[in-house]
Amino acid sequence: MAWFDEYVTFEKKRLKLAHVTDSHLFAQHDGEYFGVNTAAHFAACLSHMATQGLDCVIFGGDLTQDHTQESYLLFAQLVEQSALNCPVFWLPGNHDDLALLAQLSNGQISSAKRLSAVDFDILLLNSKGATPAGWVTQSHLDDISAYLALSQRQSIVFCHHNPLPINGYLDKHMLENGPQLLNVLNNSNQVNWLFHGHVHHDYNFHFRDINVVATPASSVQFTKNTPQWSQQNLGPAYRLITVSKSLETGRVCCEIDVIWLKE
């Protein structure tokens, strides 16, 4: 269970967090991704998140577009220069380098992959594969199963890749063993929410007893319901999530809202 060994404890029964993903930063602050200044979009999200009274922020992967060390340094600089004062946690996307992500992790930016509140856990998974498509290794699936069995705690999970098809271009790069991961989570009877990025838009699906929810990108969105490679600048976006445990059902409840920041 090495992936989940580093953890942070919140002495709260209710957590308010933000999920921001797919920043696609460049080495330079003025770098553009499909005509969008991604650093300016990410900074706008950070500025707005700072006003929301958050307990934490989860960054959902694809920090970089040009794969440079400088783009990672820009991410840390933008976080430091913002008014955001809560911890920032991360998980890897297909564009990311785990070693470079780890180098960011001190102080406000944390490499912890388990967030433990009073009544529930938040688990950050690794879906980075050898190609742009996602893959959760068997050893990681074993870690997830072992942790859930040992803890017996209700949990929500985050990963980068979409585990279910979205009827769009990114399905060619989805989480290739997504149903296997979802079955592991569902069979534990401890997970009923999974959040992901990667698809650059807002989606809501169900798999057995699990709500599968995609968060739009902070950078640029990919047009829904088309097999073509098509982008839309809808402005920066992120998702607000308030997590608690229901006294009636004993399951985790999530109040969710996408925040669209029009330019």
State the pLDDT at residue 1: 59
pLDDT above 70 (res 263): no
pLDDT above 80 (res 152): yes
d(C-alpha 88, C-alpha 73), whole Å: 15
Lowest mean pLDDT of 44-48, 91-95, 105-109, name the range: 105-109
Return the SS3 of 63: coil
Q: Which of 65, 83, 54, 69 is nearest to 22 (CA)?
A: 65
The terminus-to-terminus CA distance of the chain in angstroms comes to 43
* Sign (positive or negative) of CA dihedral 32, 36, 37, 38: negative
Lowest mean pLDDT of 171-175, 182-186, 224-228, name the range: 224-228
DSSP string, 180-219: HHHHHHHHHTSEEEEEE-SSSS-EEEEETTEEEEEPPPSS
How do residues 224-238 score in pLDDT, each as one tens digit? 988 888 999 999 999
State the pLDDT at residue 226: 87
pLDDT above 90 (res 105): no
d(C-alpha 31, C-alpha 139), whole Å: 37
The whole-number average pLDDT for the span 171-192 is 97
Ranges of each domain in the chain: 2-260
State the pLDDT at residue 84: 98
How do residues 29-61 score in pLDDT, each as one tens digit? 999 999 999 999 999 999 999 999 999 999 999
pLDDT above 80 (res 175): yes
State the pLDDT at residue 106: 83
- Cα 244 to chain centroid distance, Å, stands at 18
Question: What predicted TM-score, i.e. pTM, was given to this entire model?
Answer: 0.97
Q: What CATH class has 2-260? A: alpha beta
Average pLDDT, the chain: 96
